[in-house]
Amino acid sequence: MTYNALMNGLCKEGRLEEASKLFEEMKGMGLFPDGVIFTTLIDGHCKGGGIEDSLKLHNEMLHRGIKIDVAAYNALIYGLFRFGKLK
C-alpha cells in the first residue's frame, strides 16, 4: 500500500521517472506489484504521454498473469485516443 501511495503521488505530480524507479526498486526487493500498482503507473504514463511505457506495463501485467481491470483499460484507451494512436 505504501508503494502504491508513493507512486500515485509521484504520477499525479508528473514525476513519472521517479515513480518508475520506485516500481523497479520494489520489484528488486522481491515485492510483487499488484494490479492496482500497475494501473496507477499505466494511468500516470498515459496522462504524461508515455503510451509506449503504458503498453509495456500492460504486457508485463499479462505476462505475470495479473487480471487487467476496467480502470487499466480506461487509462490505456484514454492515452491512445489522446495521442492519436487509434490503431
pLDDT tens by residue, 65-76: 998 889 999 999
pTM of the predicted model as reported, rounded to 2 decimal places: 0.86
Look at residue 86 and tell me if it is in a domain: yes
Q: For the chain, how many structural domains are there in total?
A: 1
- Confidence tier at 51 by pLDDT (50, 70, 90): confident
- Count CB neighbours of 9 within 10 A: 13
Nearest 5°: the CA angle 22, 78, 38 is: 25
Look at residue 87 and tell me if it is in a domain: yes
What is the residue range of 52's domain? 34-87
Q: Write the DSSP symbol of residue 48.
A: H
Look at residue 7 and tell me if it is in a domain: no
**Given a cut of 90, is residue 61 above it in pLDDT?**
yes
Look at residue 23 and tell me if it is in a domain: no
Instruction: Give yes or no for a contact between 11 and 40, defined as CB atoms under 8 angstroms apart.
Output: yes
Look at residue 29 and tell me if it is in a domain: no
